[in-house]
């Protein structure tokens, strides 16, 4: 078959011995096809010779020059300086690392072709360590832009270009790669063939639109971006199809427990909550596992939606597990679920890492015996010694904090024969539609897009650190009005010790400035019992002001708190700022958030702060966060590798996602043989992380 040559090991190419092959594996290059899909990061333009008189600092250029004089100078370090010129000007070539032979070859009158970045030097323009070769009559400029590839230790750019040249030669010789896209897509006039796209992306001609190539919007790039996004979506849809082949308990009950829960509430559900609960109840009536992601902005009422789902499982005779990423958030859930369910005669259990050995044994036994009908906990829930009697529903909060394997480990605890529990996944970090369509294609998505009545948007302002005294005055005014205040301390260092020191220092400053008020301190290095005590006192209005690190990002619900101060706000991402701001605005009073920053602000920091001032909409903020930070950072630990696109960029390429989704559905529906090879082509070994579930 024609494509067999591309399926051969990379060692069949010239210059690839066992050692080089081993290094190439670190780049996921195993076959000749993998070489073609190891795509350039950027390009250098070596196709044009630039006169020295036209050079500008900061550009990369090819120049043809003659050596005028070469000297070794001894200043702070031994340096070889080579003065060169052409008919239009002069330039200095500077070498910090050089040999005697190199020095002797750069003699007066030698003609060179050099390539490098132009910089300002002490005596005019210069290139530091340029690439160069002796200029001969038959030396012509490069015919195409020079590709710069992602590399690894021991693999040079020249090696990658050499291998790519060999693989491209096979394409030019008519060995066409198999195109796995649906025929009707390939028939579209704008759709390049795969071979043409690869030839252009690897070796663009001087006539190609250089700016479009550098920006990733050239038709050749877009052809490959489409296929890569399609491969990622197909991988997740395959995972979903595998999951749907399993069985799950069909929970068809009268709904008596749900009615009792709703009747006991002092408020009515929003329309959005009712809609999402209906979607969940429809899912769990089926004998296929529910895999539903519930998104809701801060304060939208996701926990109550989870409680409604839990009533269906409990009434049907199954256990429910509620898993949260932090002790604080898990404790908040324990309090809520206990208040809601224990009056209804439902036993609520608790499992966390901080239980004593005796408490842990007792909790594990209650879970194993089925005495705990609903179990709240942290990652302790999926440890080996925890066994459920009859787990029917798993609820995972703040899903992005967990890896996919942790989620699956908890699901597998409820596996009985070929039956697995239903899964409900919740996040208060709104997911941009672009991410939901790519990284979450294996899940059904529900959105609680309505806040409870009476909630007022939080007013956000930004002030320089120099105005800290005014911020303290604002804190005093809020407390005087009977309100409570958060003061969050952040540092750019990841060190928890540094974070805690900053909080302790601020705590002392505020005690000195506001001696008449009750001030508490919470940080990650405190004992859990001390931390809980402070949080409980703040919640009970026994403290006016809580100084904290970002441990309070999730899980704290104090309706009387109406002012949030965030120090060093420029150092936090948008989603984290939005989460912290969501700690206020939970009561009926108008709430405010003050972002205290250290000037000067970077461009990204200015964008983040401006976004926070302009909107309270978590989905608008999430889209902006995606454009600033990229998909990889936003996804966190979800299915490592999913966001590691070789060429696609979700922020740039989101316009093609609807067409990608349509093509993926068409290919899955056709149940042809093209899905697996297309996924393998773009994702390779990484597919094992979510294909063999």
**pLDDT tens for each residue of 254-274:** 999 999 999 999 888 999 999
User: Looking at residue 643, what is its pLDDT?
Assistant: 47
Q: How far apart are CA 326 and CA 334, in angstroms?
A: 12
* Tokens of residue 313, six digits: 């499982």
Are residues 528 and 558 both part of a single domain?
yes
84-96 burial, b at 16+ Cβ within 10 Å, e below that, comes to: bebeebebbbbbe
CA dihedral 250, 253, 259, 264 (to 10 degrees): -70
Q: Of the candidates 587, 615, 643, which is a domain's last residue?
A: 615
Are residues 345 and 301 both part of a single domain?
yes
Phi-psi region of 463 (alpha: psi -120 to 50; beta: other; left: phi over 0): beta
- Is 658 within the bounds of a domain? no
Residues 384-422: tens digit of each pLDDT: 888 999 999 999 987 555 555 555 666 676 666 678 899
Are residues 95 and 8 both part of a single domain?
no
Q: How far apart are CA 606 and CA 611, in angstroms?
A: 9
User: Looking at residue 414, what is its pLDDT?
Assistant: 64
For β-strands 78-86 and 131-134, DSSP reports them as unpaired
User: Looking at residue 628, what is its pLDDT?
Assistant: 75
Query: Who contacts 354 (Cβ-Cβ below 8 Å, separation ≥6)?
Result: 327, 528
User: Is residue 25 classed exposed, middle or buried when 0-12, 13-18 and 19+ CB atoms within 10 A define those classes?
Assistant: middle
Residues 140-176: tens digit of each pLDDT: 888 888 899 999 888 999 899 999 999 999 999 878 7
Among candidate residues 123, 110, 122, the one with its CA nearest the CA of residue 69: 110
User: Looking at residue 692, what is its pLDDT?
Assistant: 38
- Is 670 within the bounds of a domain? no
Q: Of the candidates 110, 134, 158, which is a domain's last residue?
A: 134
- Is 548 within the bounds of a domain? yes
Are residues 421 and 553 both part of a single domain?
no
- Is 239 within the bounds of a domain? no
Number of domains making up the chain: 4
Among candidate residues 117, 112, 126, 120, the one with its CA nearest the CA of residue 61: 117
Are residues 439 and 384 both part of a single domain?
yes
Tell the residue number behind the tokens 């591309």, with chain if given: 6
Are residues 102 and 172 both part of a single domain?
no
| SS3 state of residue 651 | helix
Range of the domain at 508: 459-615
CATH number at 438 reads: 3.40.50.300
| SS3 state of residue 423 | strand
User: Looking at residue 490, what is its pLDDT?
Assistant: 80
Among candidate residues 412, 399, 402, 419, the one with its CA nearest the CA of residue 293: 399
Q: What residues of the chain score a pLDDT lower than 50? A: 1-3, 492-493, 632, 634-643, 687-693
- Cis upstream peptide for 160 (omega within 30°): no
Q: Give the relative orientation of helices 219-244 and 675-683 as an angle to the nearest 10 degrees.
A: 120
Count CA atoms closer than 13 A to 377's CA, side-chain side. Answer: 25
Are residues 108 and 56 both part of a single domain?
yes
Q: How far apart are CA 566 and CA 24, in angstroms?
A: 46
């Amino acid at each position: 078959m024609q494509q067999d040559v591309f399926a051969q090991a990379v060692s069949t190419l010239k210059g690839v011995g066992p050692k080089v092959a081993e290094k190439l594996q670190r780049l996921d290059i195993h076959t000749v096809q993998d070489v073609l899909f190891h795509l350039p990061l950027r390009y250098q333009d070596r196709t044009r010779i630039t006169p020295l008189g036209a050079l500008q600092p900061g550009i990369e250029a090819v120049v043809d020059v003659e050596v005028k004089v070469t000297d070794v100078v001894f200043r702070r370090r031994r340096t070889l300086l080579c003065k060169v010129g052409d008919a239009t000007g002069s330039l200095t070539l500077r070498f910090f690392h050089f040999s005697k032979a190199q020095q002797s070859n750069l003699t007066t009158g030698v003609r060179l072709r050099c390539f490098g970045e132009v910089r300002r030097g002490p005596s005019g323009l210069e290139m530091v360590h340029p690439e160069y070769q002796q200029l001969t009559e038959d030396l012509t400029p490069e015919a195409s832009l020079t590709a710069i590839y992602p590399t690894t230790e021991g693999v040079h750019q020249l090696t990658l270009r050499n291998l790519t040249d060999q693989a491209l030669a096979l394409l030019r010789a008519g060995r066409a790669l198999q195109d796995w896209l649906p025929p009707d897509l390939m028939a579209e006039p704008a759709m390049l063939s795969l071979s043409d796209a690869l030839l252009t992306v690897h070796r663009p001609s001087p006539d190609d639109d250089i700016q479009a190539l550098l920006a990733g919007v050239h038709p050749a790039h877009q052809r490959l971006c489409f296929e890569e996004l399609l491969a990622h979506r197909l991988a997740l849809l395959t995972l979903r199809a595998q999951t749907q082949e399993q069985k799950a308990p069909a929970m068809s009950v009268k709904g008596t427990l749900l009615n009792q829960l709703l009747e006991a509430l002092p408020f009515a559900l929003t329309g959005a909550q009712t809609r999402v609960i209906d979607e969940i109840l429809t899912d769990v009536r089926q004998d296929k596992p529910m895999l539903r992601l519930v998104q809701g902005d801060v304060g939208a009422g996701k926990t109550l939606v989870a409680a409604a789902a839990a009533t269906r499982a409990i009434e049907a005779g199954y256990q429910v597990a509620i898993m949260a990423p932090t002790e604080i958030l898990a404790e908040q859930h324990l309090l809520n679920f206990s208040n809601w369910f224990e009056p209804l005669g439902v036993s609520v259990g608790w499992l966390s890492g901080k239980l004593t050995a005796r408490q842990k044994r007792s909790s594990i036994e209650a879970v194993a015996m089925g005495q705990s009908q609903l179990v709240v906990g942290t990652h302790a829930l999926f440890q080996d010694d925890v066994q459920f009697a009859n787990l029917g529903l798993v609820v995972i909060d703040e899903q992005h904090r967990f890896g996919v394997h942790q989620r699956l480990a908890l699901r597998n605890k409820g596996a009985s024969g070929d039956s697995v529990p239903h899964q409900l996944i919740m996040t208060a970090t709104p997911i941009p539609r672009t991410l939901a369509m790519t990284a979450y294609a294996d899940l059904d998505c529900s959105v609680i897009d309505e806040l409870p009545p009476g909630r007022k948007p939080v007013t956000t302002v930004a002030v320089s650190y120099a105005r800290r005294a005014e911020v303290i005055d604002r804190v005093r005014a809020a407390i005087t009005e009977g309100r409570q205040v958060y003061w969050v301390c952040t540092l750019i260092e990841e060190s928890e010790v540094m974070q805690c020191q900053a909080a302790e220092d601020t705590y002392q400053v505020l005690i000195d400035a506001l001696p008449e008020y009750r001030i508490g301190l919470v940080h990650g290095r405190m004992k859990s019992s001390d931390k809980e005590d402070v949080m409980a006192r703040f919640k009970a209005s026994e403290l006016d002001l809580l100084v904290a690190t970002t441990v309070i990002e999730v899980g704290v619900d104090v309706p009387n708190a109406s002012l949030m101060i965030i120090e060093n706000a420029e150092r936090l991402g948008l989603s984290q700022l939005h989460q912290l701001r969501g700690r206020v605005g939970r009561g009926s009073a108008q709430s405010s958030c003050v972002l205290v920053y250290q000037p000067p602000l970077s461009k990204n920091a200015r964008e983040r702060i401006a976004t926070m001032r302009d909107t309270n909409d978590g989905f608008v903020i999430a889209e902006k966060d995606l454009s600033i930070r990229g998909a990889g950072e936003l996804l966190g630990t979800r299915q490592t590798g999913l966001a590691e696109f070789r060429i696609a960029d979700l922020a740039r390429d989101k316009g093609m996602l609807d067409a990608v989704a349509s093509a993926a559905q068409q290919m899955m529906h056709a149940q042809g043989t093209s899905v697996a090879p297309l996924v393998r082509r773009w994702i390779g070994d990484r597919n094992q992380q979510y294909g063999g579930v």
